[in-house]
Amino acid sequence: MKRFKMLIDGKAIESASEKAAVIKNPANQEPVAEVSLGDREDAALALGAAERAFPGWARTDPKKRGDLLCRGADLVRERAEEIARLLTMEQGKPLRYARREVLSSAEALDYYAEEGMRNFGEIVPSSSERTRSLVVRQPLGVAAVISPWNYPVDLLAWKVAPALAAGCTVVAKPSSKAPLAATEFIRAIHEAGIPPGVLNLVHGSGRDVGSELVESPISRKVSFTGNTETGKEIMEKASRHVKRLSLELGGHSPAIVCEDADIDEAAESCVQRAFSNMGQICISVNRIYVHEAVAEEFAERLVKMTGKLRIGDGLDPDVDLGPMFSEAQRKKTKDQIADALAKGAAVLCGGSEPEGEKYSRGFFFMPTVLDDMDHSMRMMREETFGPVAPMMRFSANDEALRLANDSRYGLAAYVFTENMTTALWFAERLEAGSVGINTTSPIIPSAPFGGWKESGLGRERCRAALYEYMEEKHIRIGLREGI
């Protein structure tokens, strides 16, 4: 079986312990490949390499850094099919979505290749005639980049690209549960000609490798996407060295369907965002608040559209939904559904595993629509990370707003209305980093993405992410006589 290695100081290497883990396909539990399993020792080795490479990379002309990132993007695109197949086999998502994810990761490299050249400083008003003040931004050092299993390539790319463009060196740790496609992505960038030590990849558990990356004084920045509870632990540990942090954490996104909404459009958009990647997406539609006057019509469309989704092995080109990532995710979803039903919710469709031999060995689950939800149910308050669209009815906009904001999370929120005044009324009051009006696709490269409340700290995408890997410096210059 093929073994995926780590990348440290420009070399593909086994972990010091020579341990490995087998990665299995969630559609049929067959082995896909092995991955080297590192521990603290390997993480320390990678941090050391990144520390040594930092001064040279930080001084490299941003144009040269950008050229290398563009070449990396080309290599990722050339290998997109191979990387996408690995992604489908280790994570479960249908191949066409895996391709989209890989291409988005190449776009991240292209995007920051250009943004890196726009790191303009400022000349600020001086405090006296014979002084000048410059404000510049400089790369802050070694960045530890830690990512989860649900979008293992894309989420890594939108961290690695701005970090490298800013002039930081990187130690990347993808999820140990879905590390294969991420390894191929990192390898492609490395083979573009990035100098040894600038970009390192370590595999292993969060407990060992992740903790070393966060606790070591060598990393000056931790950029993490994952669970809110893990994020809190990282925040606590990072405080020991006052480390810079970007935290993209959990979400629990509400969608509000107003009385005047285009019901077909709202239903289609909610189906797409509640079920894509089997609901295992941080900006998934987790709660639908629908005006009572249109609730029946909306529910009927939602159920009809959900019924058309085809489930199966992600490598099958006709499939819309693959398996869930793991039995743990499926069990969590089933437990939350059981809790909702015990408290009075109704199943409109789904609610169980699909029947048939072809589903018997994978973690498949039917996309599920629930009605009559309320906030006493766990699903309306906790992250589900499963293919469920739970509906609750409301009668007035301020009630919908209160319910939507009644959450410890604040990543994304969606509103469906034909009235722009209503749209803005909601958009300005919703406690979320991204608000979609008549859309559930709120992420674009050139706009900031990140969470309010317990959904995180800092911003990804756009120029803001470049600055997350830089420190500001004020240079005050005293001039001689004669100016």
Which residues of the chain form contacts with ligand NAD (CB under 6 A)? 146-151, 155, 173, 175-176, 205-206, 210-211, 214, 225-227, 230, 233-234, 248-251, 282, 383, 385, 411, 451, 455-456
Pull the structure tokens for residue 165.
């463009």
| Minimum distance from residue 90 beta carbon to ligand NAD (Å) | 13
- Which residue lies nearer to ligand NAD by CB, 66 or 206? 206
- Which residue lies nearer to ligand NAD by CB, 233 or 265? 233
Residue 397: Cβ within 10 Å count:
19
- Which residue lies nearer to ligand NAD by CB, 42 or 371? 42
Is 248 marked active-site? yes
Q: Which of 90, 115, 212, 248 is catalytic?
A: 248
Rounded to whole angstroms, the Cα distance separating 147 from 206 reads 10
- Which ranges in 79-115 belong to alpha helices (H)? 80-91, 95-115
| Minimum distance from residue 144 beta carbon to ligand NAD (Å) | 9
Rounded to whole angstroms, the Cα distance separating 464 from 475 reads 22
Q: In what order do the strands lie in the sheet with 199-201?
A: 11-13, 6-8, 199-201, 169-173, 142-146, 219-225, 244-248, 456-457
| Minimum distance from residue 237 beta carbon to ligand NAD (Å) | 7
Pull the structure tokens for residue 417.
């209305």
3-class DSSP string for 265-307: HHHHHHHHHHHHHHHCCCCCEEEEEEECCCHHHHHHHHHHHHH
Amino acid at 222: V
β-bridge partners, 412 = 434
- Which residue lies nearer to ligand NAD by CB, 178 or 290? 178
- Which residue lies nearer to ligand NAD by CB, 60 or 272? 272
| Minimum distance from residue 37 beta carbon to ligand NAD (Å) | 11
- Do 253 and 284 touch, CB atoms closer than 8 A? yes
- Do 280 and 286 touch, CB atoms closer than 8 A? no
Greatest C-alpha distance within the chain: 88
Phi and psi, residue 34, nearest 5°: -105, 155
Distance, first Cα to last Cα, the chain: 72
- Which residue lies nearer to ligand NAD by CB, 66 or 442? 442
- Do 280 and 329 touch, CB atoms closer than 8 A? yes
Amino acid at 67: D
Strands 244-248 and 346-349 come out as unpaired
Q: Which of 168, 258, 270, 282 is catalytic?
A: 282
How many Å is the Cα radius of gyration of the chain?
24
| Minimum distance from residue 419 beta carbon to ligand NAD (Å) | 30
| Minimum distance from residue 433 beta carbon to ligand NAD (Å) | 9
> Which run of H or of E encompasses 161?
helix 154-166
Rounded to whole angstroms, the Cα distance separating 46 from 44 reads 5
- Which residue lies nearer to ligand NAD by CB, 21 or 117? 21
The residue assigned the tokens 């906030």 is: 375
| Minimum distance from residue 451 beta carbon to ligand NAD (Å) | 6
- Which residue lies nearer to ligand NAD by CB, 227 or 439? 227
Is 258 marked active-site? no
β-bridge partners, 434 = 412
Residue 74: Cβ within 10 Å count:
15
| Minimum distance from residue 54 beta carbon to ligand NAD (Å) | 21
Catalytic positions, please?
248, 282
